[in-house]
Amino acid sequence: MRIFVGVCALVLVLGACSDAKKASEVPPAAISTSEYRGMSCSQLRTEAALIRKRTPALEAAVEKSYKHDKNMEAVTWILFWPAVFAMDGNDSESQALSQARGELEAIHASMESKGCRM
Span 77-110, pLDDT tens digits: 566 656 555 555 667 788 888 899 999 999 999 9
pLDDT for residue 9 = 46
Query: Mean pLDDT for the chain?
Result: 78
The whole-angstrom separation of Cα 29 and Cα 7 is: 38
Question: Which of 33, 22, 34, 90 has the alpha carbon at shortest distance from 59?
Answer: 22
pLDDT value at 68 more than 90: no
- How large a percentage of the chain has pLDDT more than 90? 37
**More reliable by pLDDT, 117 or 33:** 33
Contact 110, 36 (CB under 8 A): yes
pLDDT above 70: residue 113 = yes
pLDDT at 75: 65
